[in-house]
Chain A
Amino acid sequence: MVLISNDPESIVRGSETIYNAFQEQLRQFDLSDEVSVSLVNDIGQSYASPIVIIYPEAVIYGPVNASEVPYIVEEHLYKGRIVEEKRAPAHELSGRVAWLSARKGTLPAENRIVLKNVGLIDPENIEDYIAHDGYQALGLALQKSPEEVINLIKSSGLQGRGGAGFPTGLKWDFVKKVNSAKKYVICNADESEPGTFKDRVVLEGDPHAIIEAMLIAAHAVGADEGFIYIRGEYQLAIERMEKAIFQAKEYGFLGSSIFGSNLNFSLHVHAGAGAYICGEETALIESIEGKRGEPRSRPPYPTTVGLFGKPTLVNNVETLANIPAILRNGPEWYRNIGTPSSPGTKVYTILGKVNVTGLIEVPMGITLREVISIYAKGMNGGNFKMAQTGGSSGSIIPSSLQDTPMDFDSYKRAGVSLGSGALLICDEEVCIVDLAKVLLNFFRAECCGKCTPCRIGTKRAYDILSEISHGKGKLEDLDELLTLSNELNDLSNCGLGQTAGTPLKDMLKYFRAEVEAHIRLDVCPTGVCPMAY
């Protein structure tokens, strides 16, 4: 796969000519069937444009001149020899290029930090965990003061992996700073975002990593009790975690005076009962307290007033799973992976119309195109139409954003969100109206009902989309959908309502013609919608 940068500066410097030269040369060397060439945007800063990236070696050439193309094709693509003298100098700036430079390998390899032990150790045997550096990080943490531990996490740059991306060290600091004899640490293992099963894999495969991380957090913030809130459907995860806690207690990692220090920590598993909204941290807390999972008004935030009114730290499973590694290897090691704005790795779940679905863990900064072509082994029959990143509340990514580095910063600048890391890849057989209808149905069903904008808004949006899919839509409906989307965003009490409108906005921004075809032409272009009652 050959990618040629096509941002304004590259165009001025002849990227189109380079593109044509590649096509011509590939024909001459009879490689047109094996090698694809694409003009792409947002490859990185234009410090060496035009840039040419060749996979699977992920070599970056630049600046490239059209006259050099025959040589590159002959040497690299035909003979398999990388043209060292044309390599672009390594550069720190853009997420994508920084990641590729850092990799330096040939075939892109995953970098498993969160998933380090998953699939390699026996999760029901604490000895196996210990043999693989288990509970070492806790020992290191207990030799440091709480402030030192928090500063360590802060300097690592770790951000929350549940979807919001809040700086973890900062959150820990908030809880630490509150003066209270009683504090709690909660692990949010409610994982209900459609398309997401990364946390389940850690809970089932490496439960002790979470226990160890929570112990370290308890030491840092001054808590003595913790809860792991696991969604009720994850029966195996609940069993394994309870067994792990039992074994940890036996070995003295839970209880009082852990490692002879003054840390006391007791840990309980709390099972959810089937409610997506309980993944929202205040709704989760309400649920542990035995009430309906309705999010609270914030402020105050759980860091000051949380479980049973006490300061509470809530962290996602994936976020916590990074903690032992950061303690063992140091924050600089963590900073060296990923991108400057988003260090570390991210676990992505790949789903949809691709050849290989499943789970990968790669440094932050990878692009969607790379995920699809390299890890998912390409589209399964169809052509890429759109992807939804971050679960059902995530953004819908059209073709044009396939090369944006997937890190919190780059995505925010492109106006889309990264969320939980679920990547739902759709081909042209997926109807945008049908997809939006399914997404809004999810929000409508999972809405807790507390606040009117969400309770009524999600239902109304679903009804409109249902009408459109049955051939009864009107053009005014699209204006109403946009208004609903804005109202949901501005007026909802919690993240569910606030993000429920995102699919509507993206649908109208990138696929308006397809939606209008349902209305103006009474046709569903993909043939999916019923279009007649």
Chain B
Amino acid sequence: MSVVENKEQETLEFVRDTISQIGLTRADLIPILQTITNKFGYISQVAIREVAALLKLPTKEISSVATFYRMLSTEPRGKHLIQFCESAPCHVVGGRQVLHKLKEILDLEPGQSSADNKWTLITTSCLGVCGIGPVILIDTDLYGNVQPDQVKSILSRYE
């Protein structure tokens, strides 16, 4: 099998496995999609079609939910996901300057992935850790009280 077909097969098997563990009803849809996103970084068209088939729903229903929630993605993401809080409490305590530095060092606008697929930068809404703003979330690592001159060393921790 080619690489693409391998990937497809892996996706299909994972989707079937996930659904057999979580459930087949509409109410199980978001947990299913979240599990798929956590595994592959995004929900591919192959996954969407398979979920639709198993849950007996039109693919548009799957897509409409998959595109609504911020923690789900229908676009592939880089190896490391950088989420930067752009809400008012972080912004007011220096968030503006930290974001500027992030964009400068990565040479990315929010929503973009780097050419080598190492990074995806997105801005996010309040993460609920406002007492230690400005806040950067890289994968599952949370950095608080970030100063612009710390951005470079934070990023250098990631392969």
Residue A293 interfacial (CB < 8 Å): yes
Closest CB in chain A relative to B77 CB, distance in Å: 14
Closest CB in chain A relative to B60 CB, distance in Å: 11
> Chain B residues near A271 (CB, 8 Å)?
31, 34
Residue B154 interfacial (CB < 8 Å): no
CB interface residues, A 273-310, toward B, < 8 Å: 273-276, 287-293
B71 and A290: CB pair below 8 A? no
> Chain B residues near A235 (CB, 8 Å)?
140
> Chain A residues near B91 (CB, 8 Å)?
435, 438
B131 and A233: CB pair below 8 A? no
A273 and B72: CB pair below 8 A? yes
A273 and B30: CB pair below 8 A? yes
> Chain B residues near A12 (CB, 8 Å)?
none
A424 and B65: CB pair below 8 A? no
**Residues of B within 8 A of A (CB-CB), count:** 34
* Tally of contacts, chain A with chain B, CB under 8 A: 118
One of B8-16, B101-109, B122-130 contacting the partner: B122-130
Residue B148 interfacial (CB < 8 Å): no
Say which size band chain A's interface belongs to: 35 or more
Residue B48 interfacial (CB < 8 Å): no
> Chain A residues near B25 (CB, 8 Å)?
290
Residue A430 interfacial (CB < 8 Å): yes
> Chain B residues near A441 (CB, 8 Å)?
86
CB interface residues, B 13-47, toward A, < 8 Å: 25-31, 33-34
Taking CB as reference atom, which chain B residue is nearest A441? B86
> Chain A residues near B31 (CB, 8 Å)?
271
> Chain B residues near A392 (CB, 8 Å)?
87-88, 126
> Chain B residues near A430 (CB, 8 Å)?
92
B93 and A195: CB pair below 8 A? no
**A274-B72, A287-B30, A290-B26 given; A442·B125 CB < 8 A:** yes
A445 and B125: CB pair below 8 A? yes
Closest CB in chain A relative to B140 CB, distance in Å: 7
Contact of A273 among B26, B33, B93, B125 (CB under 8 A): B33
Contact of B30 among A290, A388, A435 (CB under 8 A): A290
Whole-angstrom CA separation of A196 from B87 in the bound complex = 11
Residue A105 interfacial (CB < 8 Å): no
Contact of B131 among A197, A290, A292, A446 (CB under 8 A): A197
Closest 3 interchain pairs by CB? A274-B70, A273-B69, A274-B71
